[in-house]
Structure 1
Amino acid sequence: MTDLNELMKQAKLMQEKFQTAQETAAKAVVEGVAGAGLVRVEMTGRYQVNNVKIDETLLSEEISVIEDLLAAAVNSAVAKVAEASKGSLSDLAGGITLPDGFKMPF
């Protein structure tokens, strides 16, 4: 029975560490950039977009150019959040490489 109690303690500790890692990731803020900095997107670790900045010089461009750059900046920010989350989970898992698509928070 001692082994089961020890296993339960370890599971609880791992759950607490995971919760802390989730909270830390949620507080993280990254910036996605496109068009050499003409479009910037600020995103949290929960994939919430906080801010979008579009340089005034782009306003004379066709809307499709702005749309493409905005999509690229958002995708850049999403990739950065995913990479940070993957790193946090890998640290939590003791350096085990986690498969692509394994995201935090779930």
Structure 2
Amino acid sequence: MFKGLGQMGDMAKMMKSAQELQQKVTALQEELNVMTVEGESGAGLVKATATAKGELKALDIDPSIFNPDEKEVVEDLILAAIKDAQQKAQEKSQAEMAKITEGLGLPADFKMPF
């Protein structure tokens, strides 16, 4: 179709690739809102579930850790589980984005603006 147009054909190809990338990124953003990861602490006594975008969705606490004398320990376990879930969410998000961008020749450490 663009044969013989030289750089114009290359530009059209780049624009098409950019549009395809934009569609894939938009679809991925929607998927990241429903993908979940689970972080945990205390050998699974506290579990936090978050979306791949890092939004906390659920918290599961084993009742065996509810001892009034251990309040600070429980709080630390909860925070650790949430941080673990958020870290896993970030890793999942980056891995999913890498799947989309790997064919574009971008540097491995390239970060999209979201």
For normalisation by structure 2, the TM-score amounts to 0.79
Question: How many residue pairs get matched?
Answer: 103
What runs of 5+ residues in structure 2 fail to find an aligned partner? 1-7
2:109 aligned with 1:98, yes or no? yes
Asked if 1:81 is matched to 2:89, the reply is yes
- State the Cα distance separating 1:103 from its structure 2 match: 6.9
Cα deviation digits, residues 23-77 of structure 1 (max 9, x gap): 2222111111110111111111221111111111111142110111011101110
Letter of the 2:48 partner, please give it.
Answer: V
Q: 1:24 aligns with which of 6, 23, 31?
A: 31
What residue is the counterpart of 1:33 in the other structure?
A: 40
* Sequence identity (%): 32
SS in structure 1 opposite 2:49? strand
2:33 alignment partner, SS class: helix
* Residues 86, 98 of structure 1: 8 Å contact kept: no
Is this contact kept in 2: 1:39–1:53, CA < 8 A? yes
Tell me, what secondary structure is at the counterpart of 1:93? Answer: helix
Say if 2:75 is the partner of 1:64.
Answer: no
CA RMSD in angstroms comes to 1.9
CA–CA distance in 2 between the matches of 1:54 and 1:103?
35
1:34–1:40 contact (8 Å) kept in structure 2: yes
Aligned to 1:97, the other structure's residue is in SS state: coil
* Structure 1 runs not aligned, ≥5 long: none
**What CA deviation, in whole Å up to 9, does each residue of 1:61-99 have, x standing for no partner?**
421101110111011101111111111111111165225
Q: State whether residues 42 and 51 of structure 1, in contact with CA within 8 Å, keep that contact through their aligned partners in structure 2.
A: yes
